[in-house]
Amino acid sequence: MSKRIFTKEQTETILQNKNVSGCTDKMIIYEKGFKVLAVSQYKEGMTARQIFKQAGFNLDMIGRKTPKENMRRWLRIHREQGDKGLLKDKSRAGGRPKSIESLIKDLPDKEKVRRLEAEVAYLKQENRFLAKLRKKSLN
């Protein structure tokens, strides 16, 4: 991962590119269609740098290694999952899993109750299991 940090001005400039859907001080989120097009152009013989330059990116700003690193990752995803892999939302692709509350907040009430009841049943079983383990370890 790059150690570059974008300034506010750089972030605003990057966000003006039609191939960017978001940008923070540390990360650029590329449009899904751009990823598919970039992989296609790469397979036709263009270099990663050429693709990014043609798409309007300033390589001095985003980093000279960025095109190659992104292309390597996108090619792997494309090889494993095809275009669908590049088109799906990766916003939760890592990091902490969602809490049960955030998973059910948009569900209808009946579905919320059903899921929460399932969670309670699971936790009761887990508690019984842990109690048995504690009992065995004391003996």
Of the pLDDT bands very low, low, confident and very high (cuts 50, 70, 90), residue 10 is very high
Boundaries of every domain in the chain: 8-87, 100-138
Report the distance separating Cα 60 and Cα 128, nearest Å.
59
What distance, in Å, lies between the first and last C-alpha atoms of the chain?
Answer: 50
- pTM for the complete prediction? 0.62
Contact 57, 17 (CB under 8 A): yes
* pLDDT computed for residue 62 by the predictor: 93
**Between 66-81 and 32-43, two packed helices, what is the crossing angle to 10 degrees?**
90
Mean pLDDT estimate for the chain: 87
User: Which tokens in the block code for residue 12?
Assistant: 């605003």
Residue pointed to by tokens 């790469």: 42
- Can you tell me whether residue 11 is helix, strand or coil? helix
pLDDT digits (tens, 9 = 90+) for 72-126: 999 999 999 998 888 887 655 556 666 767 766 777 888 888 888 988 999 999 9
